Structure 1
Amino acid sequence: DKYKRIQQSIIDVLDKAQHVVVKGCNGNKTDMKVSLMPIGDPAKQTIFENCLADVNIPLGEVFTSPRLKGTEGTLNVSRVYLNGLLYKNLTLKFRDGMVEDYACDNFDNSIDVDDEGNAINKNKSYIRENILFNHDTLPIGEFAIGTNTTAYVMANRYDIVGKLPILIVEKMGPHFA
């Protein structure tokens, strides 16, 4: 009941907004404007899911699918594991909800040459193959605010954020998918 009540308070405010701005701090370069779908009557309608343990384990987030038009900016994550692969200083740039550019710092010598003599950026190739799955671009599909403060405190106290599954990490603060 505690999470449901707290998260509903967040949803009540967000349902009245046209967009949400997420800015990084302490060296994080995230600066995202997330456009939200308009709703006719925020008192009776919502665009957010109040995610408790009956929907997703662990509990602790409110999420929605952003409106693509107007969703733009830079998403920066200093270190993250996705599908078992590490990304250092992952940066994705969005325009109208679509990935426009991307980079990471996984490879020091990031330029390689293919069999035909073409220059290849290994960092961009790593992202294209493993996040974009060889597509030129993909849309942002989810914007969420994680509220699981227990997971946040535990992960930071024991310095295990990088060892936790992404489904737990995403409950610890704002995230995009």
Structure 2
Amino acid sequence: MATASGRQALVERYRREPHAGAQALFLELVARSLNERQTLIAGGSAAELVDAAGLTEVQAHYQALLADKPHAVYEVRRLTRRSSKRTDGRGITARSVRAVAHGTREQMTRQLAAQPGDRHDGPDGITRHVLRARGTELPSLEHFYVVCPAVVEDKARPGFDEWWQEATSDAVLF
């Protein structure tokens, strides 16, 4: 929703269909947990839109949806490396996501506190334990733990572990 009229139409839909709004907030939470820059709305987030519109019924349905879902602590590693095939100077980004614990939301919040890394409470309301913040130079590495509804399957791009090993080896870092 890139336009004001599009956002207003979405607000009206969520007002009529609070379950649809709650589902959108849920999907955005999962996406943002794994990548803080990922939202459903260009230039903002569905959560901000719902909050600004005062859609309390959507928020209530969303909180009920979260309460019913099992959660997990996920380890997220992302790297962007140079590509000889790209001519625009951008790299290839690959990600590895792996659940390290499962349980209730409260249990996983406590588990996250025991994970290594520096605690970062993001402006999106999501807490991450960051071992390595995303850099600007290639290869760019990011590594963190986060609590998220347990709906994401463990996955990694083929070759990810080898790329990660290469990027984090002593020869590259020193």
Q: TM-score, normalised by structure 2?
A: 0.27
Q: Larger % of strand: which? A: 1
Choose between structure 1 and 2 for higher RCO, CA contacts under 8 A separated by at least 6 residues: 2
Q: Larger % of helix: which? A: 2
Q: TM-score, normalised by structure 1?
A: 0.27
